[in-house]
Structure 1
Amino acid sequence: MTQNQEIQLVKRPEAMPTEEHIRMTNTEMPEPGKNEVLLKTVYVSVDPYMRGRMSSAKSYVEPFALNKAISGGVIAQVVESNAESLQPGDVVTGTLPWAKYSTAPAETLRKVNPELGPVTTSLGVLGMPGLTAYFGLTDIGNPKAGETVVVSAAAGAVGSIVVQIAKIYGAHVVGIAGSEEKTRYLTEELGADKAINYKTDNLPEALIESCPDGVDVYFDNVGGEVSDAVYPLLNDHARIPQCGSIATYNDPNAQGPRLQMHIVKSRALIKGFIVGDYQPRFKEGFTKLAEWVGNGKLTYKETIKTGFDQIPEAFFGLFTGENIGKQLVKTAEIE
């Protein structure tokens, strides 16, 4: 069997992560212990939250260790098994290292159900991004028919699903993205009522025009100047699911206007969340998302690079807006 490779974090970035912060290194082939399996990585998910784990700052999850493999959502195939619940050839998903081969306890993995859709959906619409969109919007945002829902990073893995679920609930949906290709995707394929290109449009003016009745729900993935433009339009008792703040992840000195005035004036609710908060309800989320995918109410797009060595480039590209939908890297074939 070939020698293993993994991608490690070797230096904590203060701004935009680059090649100097990681290294690809050869390692020994791992051997599974009791109730463990040996896995071949097939697809790797790269996600914005990983940038936070590269920092040593206090957060909701431990930072990545230096000189150790970075980890995240992975689809893998079982090569060897010391667990009764999994057999060689099974396709699973879990939080695994950026490595060509790894081992994991069987109980930490979930078998991928191919009847629900292509295996890649377990890292996208039927995985963490889909669940994030579903629970953040329905539980915190609680959209009602006729309300206005604004979504930042609306063409991304989470945002693109939020847009569609908001339409299922009968909302007037305005998506904010960073290119003409993305804004066309939002209106022509996802059904958004309006789409704004924050890089070329006058964002405050475009928001006023697109949200004539104000904003009832703001699903925020980016923070920064985009959010600064949304807050003045909040209606009374608006709801803000705070999913991310990608605009500030690489700017340690990020500053912005004071938000408290807008929150008090509108009596809005702003709640930060992570998808793990909803783990007891994951079955509910999977069931509803699979139902919508199955009946065509929910579509998805994937941006897939090929090659284990493409993982860093795919990750860095998240912060320059390269991807539409879910960004994945295919590292091997399923046999």
Structure 2
Amino acid sequence: MAEQSRIRVAVNGYGVIGKRVADAVAAQEDMEIAGVADITADWRLRMAARKGFLLYASAEDRGASMREAGLDLSGTLDDLLGTADVIVDCTPKKVAARNVEIYRQRGTKFILQGGEKHEVTGHSFVAESNYQSAVGRDCTRVVSCNTTSTVRTLSALKQAGLLRRARGTLLRRATDPWESHLGGIMNTLVPEPEIPSHQGPDAQSVDPELDVVTMAVKVPETLAHLHYWTVQLTREASKEEVLEAFRASSRIALIEIGDGLSAINAVKEMMADLGRPHDNLYEVALWADMLKVEGDELFYAYMVDNQAIVIPETIDAIRALTGRERDAARSIAATNRSLGIGTVAKALGRG
């Protein structure tokens, strides 16, 4: 039997998420980067060129200025779409929604990120929850970092038959680290003005059965998000039973304050020591020794790396849309191997 060709993936928008998606695609045995598109001519695209990625102008009117800046362009976004099986749009919020018409006209499968609304694609994706429903679709939306973590942890409890309802408080970092000189907040906390915050309803766009309410507050730091959850279980359970439910998810890493991982900066430093690119924490880092169960009530907290958690989901979404892998477990396992997911427990001597 002839070997299948690799899935050719285009990336539109080479920023915080786009560059991580491109690196992750390049690490897959069954995928390759068709090219990356953007409108800038700054250092970011020069880094993409150093990695051997072909460069394209996302907008035709930006091509001339990009070439004048010394970038070697292979064409426009339209040219790139002609070479790709699927495009991952990582452009800023609302820009991607405008690009959808272009993708539909060209008949190119596409993936949006969580900044866009569910209605734009009609499908929202978290691999461990609803991979199968994305197989063969023309498009999907990988939900936001906070929503991804919410669905991962609540799905683990649900699949173990333990989840009744969940209420979460999200401490959201103010901005991305590389943009912290441009904005953010200092010496204040900014609550989201509505309860529920948007993450709860967004999680229900992936799994409508979830009984979940979220509240959120923006905090003056840029490393990661922190979640606190109160969950009513379907019955009384032991702490070990709950931990086993979380261990069943390959994308939840159980950490402990007792290991010296007492704050989000320490967890990020561990990711660097593991050799993760960009110090990426792809997993939900959940504090096992903080977790508390009292009767049918569960209390736990975890850390979310908003620059990294959606990357494995995006890789799995590529396989699902193209139909290259119809089995969720096989896709998740392949993605995990390529990105080193699962190494946290081993590094802590518990794997």
Settle same-fold status: TM greater than 0.5.
no
Larger fraction in helix: 2
- What TM-score does the superposition give when structure 2 sets the normalisation length? 0.30
- What TM-score does the superposition give when structure 1 sets the normalisation length? 0.31
